[in-house]
Structure 1
Amino acid sequence: MEDSMRRHFFHHGGQDPAVTDGAKEVRECHWCQLRSFDKHAVFPISVVNDTKDRQTLPQDFRFISENHLGPGVSRAEASFRSGCECADPGDCMRAGCQCLEEIDDEPSDPEEPSDLDADEQGNRPSKPEKTLFSYYSSGPKAGLLKKSRLQSRQPIYECHEGCGCGPDCPNRVVERGRTVPLQIFRTDDGRGWGVRSIIDIKCGQFVDTYVGEVITSKEADRRRNKSTNARKKDIYLFALDKFIDENSPDPRLVGPPLEVDGQYMSGPSRFINHSCNPSMRIFARVGDHADKHVHDLALFATRDIPKGEELTFDYVDGIDMRDASKTEGHTKCLCGSANCRGWLW
């Protein structure tokens, strides 16, 4: 770890003759890859190993900040793309915004402040106006995922670059990207690498997306079969199956789902470990509705997380692994939580 870091800082800042194949080495340097991220100066990602094993990140791994579409995978054609025409960002929180048209109606959140202005006498409506989008719109929780959404498995619909509301729209939390500085660190209990934040994270706060190479189900199966441990390969593969429906008029949502492979190219979230008592949950996030088949995988905190605590999510999200018939050949879970199911894959 120290050797590779030293080489980066001493040789990759200019044309150093010690670097015989400079362009190739810089492309493969993890620190150079991280430094190329748009928000690196404000929300940096660091890598540390304070253990005695002196391990470095996999040399065949490459950091990316957004999904790469593999062969046979594409986004919707321009003629099928659309966005809302809200002139006021406040309109993007209520019924009428095209981006929210598929959100199921739900009771008003009692913790959601009223978005209606007070009248001339300073009186506010006794009943807050219901907002449909997924985030608190004002007050100290502004921008956090609503409690009702956090406890559900419902997808998150956001405005996006094709909308008329502008980049400051409150319904663009995931689109604006990660605002949490993360640190990839080597665990000291045999679980490999892990991830933690260097700042406190609030319950409902967006942390990061899981990105990788988006591939067809056929290619995903080929990679599983090629792997020496298919179950271990599944740790890095996430099916984009939230909207799969055999009766869908969209043929891309009828068959087997696309999958995101983060083993060899991904962001810091690729190194987040599993826990049976996790601090985060993955949600399907949709921008343009024509791209549901390639929706984002967004990680949100399900409780307050103090800085320095390891970030985790449930890889199998609640599947009961206590049944012995389901655990044959599986990998033992090392999360150590009080409610550990005992097995992972």
Structure 2
Amino acid sequence: MGKRAPEELKVYKEYISAVRKVEQRLVAEGNTFYRKTDWAILEHYAGRDTLFENKLREARFNALLQKVGIAPVFIENWLPTLYKTDVLGELPSFRFIYKSFMADHFSRKFLALPPGFRTSRCKCKCAEDCSASNLDCCISDVSTDATNVRLTYDASRRLAFPNRIRTTNYELIECSGSCKCGPGCPNRITQRGRQVAVVIFFENTEKNWGLRAGEPIRRGQFITEYVGEVKLASSLKYSNKAYQLQIPRTLEFDDKSESLVIDASGFGNEARFINHSCSPNALLVWVYSDDYGGHYARSCFFATRDIQAGEEIMYNYYSGAELKKKVKSGIKCRCSFKCNIYIPGQTEQRSDTLARASRTKPGGGQQAEIDDQLQSELEQQQRQ
């Protein structure tokens, strides 16, 4: 057997376990189609071309993730072969990455800023692992105002939630390269990447793709980061806003205030498939962990309650004011069969939430992850 055989066997076993958990969850949810699981799986494997493409991409995704110590991601579509078109059967085309990067037009402007502008929000003096009891540690720097709530990790290295989850901007400051602590610091949780297996799963013909837990996730546990190409909002006026997430900070360029956007339409990871829910089980937290001062934050999802293996991971895209019982310009929310809320139309712009109002997502397209491109991206990301 080859040297990689034990690693590949481990990933395969994780895959079998994750898919079985999704199957059990779907049966528990009472979906009549998935009560005929054996038939559904047979139909699934009958679509060999789609199956091959999805599994090929899954292998490429995991080859990259293994290199950086991130848990595997699996792709499953159990839609009957009859409905498997290029749009519905194959995973939408995008380039898989594990961390965000700056677009050229933004990078040039950002790097031209004065050196003192690019500073870390965390400069703790802890010689060893950080602790909130140490007043010199950034973990103790917790503040709350009318618009932002600063969060911290608890002793179990999970997010310490306030008594009540509110519709506001949640922030967390992690240690960075300016700190004296090492990579094992308990205040560097999100920097280690996703540590739970997940399944990119085709939910149905209305919601299309979603993301499900491949193993149990505890309340407060870090799930994944929404990654993509960081761009200036002004450069995206006429682009598809379906996978854009706006960072709640602005920068001053040439005496002009500019907003930043994480665009996952062309480059992204599994987080781009997280669906909306009016009763979510995940919360978006803005994490400051780079030497960019308070001007750039990473968008990370944490579990707001225990999530069972196989359960769909969902996030509330909108503020309370945006969700209405019925609006003329809105569309019917499909987060559950009990939901009677109308959500804003896809053309509406929001300042601090995903601009993915419609459940219709881009589909199909040519395979984007060619072997030499993947290798080039891997080498580039490892150098960063």
Same fold (TM over 0.5): yes
- Flag the 1:300–1:317 CA change in 2: closer, same or farther, 3 A: farther
Which of these residues, 218, 241, 244, is aligned with residue 202 of structure 1?
218
Structure 1 CA distance, aligned partners of 2:54 and 2:144?
52
Residue pairs, 1:182-331, within 5 angstroms: 182-188=198-204, 190-223=206-239, 233-241=240-248, 243-244=249-250, 251=252, 255-288=257-290, 290-322=292-324, 327-331=327-331
2:38 aligned residue: none
- The DSSP-based 3-state class of the residue aligned with 1:72 is helix
User: Given that residues 285 and 302 in structure 2 are in contact (C-alpha distance below 8 angstroms), is that contact kept between their aligned partners in structure 1?
Assistant: yes
- Flag the 1:185–1:8 CA change in 2: closer, same or farther, 3 A: closer
Which amino acid is the alignment partner of residue 219 of structure 1?
S
1:3 aligned residue: 49
Which blocks of at least 5 consecutive residues in structure 2 are unaligned? 1-46, 346-384
Shift in Å, 1:88? 2.3
1:81 aligned residue: 119
1:134 aligned residue: 152
Paired residues in the alignment total: 279
- Flag the 1:93–1:290 CA change in 2: closer, same or farther, 3 A: farther
- What is the RMSD computed on CA atoms of the aligned residues? 3.0
Which amino acid is the alignment partner of residue 92 of structure 2?
P
The CA deviation string for residues 74-104 of structure 1, in whole angstroms up to 9 with x for no partner, is 366765434333102134664222x347531
Structure 1 CA distance, aligned partners of 2:244 and 2:91?
19
More strand as a share of residues? 2
Structure 2 CA distance, aligned partners of 1:39 and 1:202?
25
- Flag the 1:7–1:259 CA change in 2: closer, same or farther, 3 A: closer
- Flag the 1:307–1:91 CA change in 2: closer, same or farther, 3 A: closer
Which blocks of at least 5 consecutive residues in structure 1 are unaligned? 13-28, 107-131, 224-232, 245-249
1:96 aligned residue: 136
User: Given that residues 93 and 171 in structure 1 are in contact (C-alpha distance below 8 angstroms), is that contact kept between their aligned partners in structure 2?
Assistant: no
- The DSSP-based 3-state class of the residue aligned with 1:260 is strand
Shift in Å, 1:39? 5.8
- Flag the 1:42–1:81 CA change in 2: closer, same or farther, 3 A: closer
More helix as a share of residues? 2
Report the identity percentage.
27
- TM-score, with normalisation over the residues of structure 1? 0.71
Please list every run of at least 4 consecutive aligned residues from structure 1 whose deviation after the TM superposition is greater than 6 angstroms.
Answer: none
Structure number with larger C-alpha Rg: 1
- Flag the 1:251–1:336 CA change in 2: closer, same or farther, 3 A: same
Structure 1 residue 162 and structure 2 residue 200: aligned?
A: no
